[in-house]
Chains A and B, each alone.
Chain A
């Protein structure tokens, strides 16, 4: 079954990776299983008519390649700050493209990150799309989380 905006996400993601990095990425079937020990997560939030989160899950090895390519660094030259800058730029561009096909008006937040060994969750959302891709022998994923309708949990006020 086709997921929410699946083909558009695949198309925009492919376009951004190609124009920004010159990398060819291919959609892959299946779910993306990852260990937070070896994964970098970058997210931008969309607020407005549509509320949710766009999240990129990338293995460390691919993050290094992205960073080295984006900033013309030698192999092994990426550090945590340049990695954040590179992934921030990437998720910002992907998020901007996806936002353009979501209900308007909506605004995009600054990117936030979880580096290797950290994990990032979005309470009050449900995953509506996960697209898996492959690039340079590494798999990665792009997911959309949409705000759940208000749910009454028992809160003692």
Chain B
């Protein structure tokens, strides 16, 4: 069992249900892109007594569906800004919940959203936990990364 795995599953299911009314389930599949699709990667960074980041990697098509539900629009009406806002909001909520498990004081950054072919990479950080979920046939991934302390390098 990875650190925070149960909490990631619990918070993610809870957030997607309460905000989007969607049931998401942990997938045993490794996170992979279908046919080279683009990934929208949301990230919030945590600074303070614990330093690291929480990332949400989501296929663009799923992020569009999320935005259309979140902002009550038809999918074709969702703009790039709204898609990024939607994923930013989900990342922020996920990060906020994970932060509550960490030693205080900790501070959450604003979300950053990156369009990428590979998922977001944060140099100087190590992956401590990642969970893949399935929603509408799409895989998305929630990861927790911890800053590598200089002494550990």
Which A residues form the contact surface with B (CB < 8 A)?
Answer: 36, 43, 45, 47-48, 51-53, 81, 84-85, 88, 107-114, 117-125, 147, 153-157
What is the minimal beta-carbon distance from B124 to any residue of chain A, in angstroms? 5
CA distance A45 to B122 in the complex (A): 13
CB-nearest residue of chain A relative to B85?
A: A123
Question: Once the chains bind, are A156 and B72 in contact (CB under 8 Å)?
Answer: yes
Q: Is B54 an interface residue (CB 8 A)?
A: no
B109 proximity list for chain A (CB < 8 A): 45, 47, 51, 109
10 residue pairs of the A-B complex, CB under 8 angstroms, read: A47-B109, A109-B47, A110-B53, A114-B114, A122-B113, A123-B84, A123-B110, A155-B70, A156-B69, A156-B70
A156 proximity list for chain B (CB < 8 A): 19-21, 69-70, 72
Q: Is B132 an interface residue (CB 8 A)?
A: no
Q: Is B121 an interface residue (CB 8 A)?
A: yes
Q: Is B98 an interface residue (CB 8 A)?
A: no
Question: Once the chains bind, are A117 and B117 in contact (CB under 8 Å)?
Answer: yes
Q: Is B33 an interface residue (CB 8 A)?
A: no
B84 proximity list for chain A (CB < 8 A): 121, 123
Contact of A114 among B19, B48, B116 (CB under 8 A): B116
CB-nearest residue of chain B relative to A156?
A: B72
Question: Once the chains bind, are A118 and B115 in contact (CB under 8 Å)?
Answer: yes
Contact of A120 among B45, B81, B113 (CB under 8 A): B113
CA distance A156 to B89 in the complex (A): 13
List 6 additional A-B contacts (Cβ < 8 Å) besides A113-B121, A121-B84, A123-B110: A112-B120, A113-B123, A117-B117, A121-B115, A123-B87, A123-B113
Q: Is B88 an interface residue (CB 8 A)?
A: yes
Given A123-B89, A155-B70: A110 and B147 within 8 A (CB)?
Answer: yes
Bitwise interface map of B from 86 to 128 toward A, beta carbon under 8 Å scored 1, else 0: 0111000000000000000001111111111100111111000
Given A84-B123, A154-B71, A155-B70: A124 and B85 within 8 A (CB)?
Answer: yes
Query: Which of chain B's residues 29-85 have a Cβ closer than 8 Å to chain A?
Result: 43, 45, 47-48, 51, 53, 69-72, 81, 84-85
What is the minimal beta-carbon distance from A150 to any residue of chain B, in angstroms? 12
A81 proximity list for chain B (CB < 8 A): 123
B117 proximity list for chain A (CB < 8 A): 117-118
Question: Once the chains bind, are A121 and B45 in contact (CB under 8 Å)?
Answer: no
Question: Once the chains bind, are B89 and A107 in contact (CB under 8 Å)?
Answer: no
CA distance A53 to B109 in the complex (A): 9
Contact of A47 among B71, B85, B107 (CB under 8 A): B107
CB-nearest residue of chain A relative to B88?
A: A123
B110 proximity list for chain A (CB < 8 A): 45, 47, 51-53, 122-125, 147
Q: Which of B51, B108, B115 has the most CB of A within 10 A?
A: B115
CA distance A146 to B14 in the complex (A): 30
